[in-house]
Amino acid sequence: MLMGLGRAPAAAAPWGLTLSWTNNLLTIASPDLPGGKLEVLYLEAFCQTKAHDQDWRKTTLPHKTQLVSASKDGRHLKLLTRVQPDVEVSHEVRADREEVEFVFRLTNRGKERVDLDWLQPACIRVDRFTGLGQSNYIERSFIFTERGLTMMNQTRRTTEALYQGGQVYVPPEIPLEDANPRPISLDRPVNGLIGCVSADQRWLLATAWDRTHELFQGVYVCLHADPHVGGLAPAETKRVRGKLYFLKNDPKLLLKRYERDFGK
Task: List the chain pLDDT tens, one digit each, 264 residues.
Answer: 344 344 433 344 445 899 999 999 999 999 989 989 999 999 999 999 999 999 999 999 999 999 999 999 999 999 999 999 999 999 999 999 899 999 999 999 999 999 999 999 999 999 999 999 999 999 999 999 999 999 999 999 999 999 999 999 999 999 999 999 999 999 999 999 999 999 999 999 999 999 999 999 999 999 999 999 999 999 999 999 999 999 999 999 999 999 999 997
Tell me what pLDDT residue 32 has: 87
Tell me what pLDDT residue 16 has: 81
Whole-prediction pTM value?
A: 0.93
Separation of alpha carbons 168 and 146, rounded Å:
16
Tell me what pLDDT residue 15 has: 54
Tell me what pLDDT residue 211 has: 96
Tell me what pLDDT residue 219 has: 93
Locate the domains of the chain by residue range.
18-262
24: nearest Cα among 67, 62, 88: 67
CATH placement of domain 18-262? 2.70.98
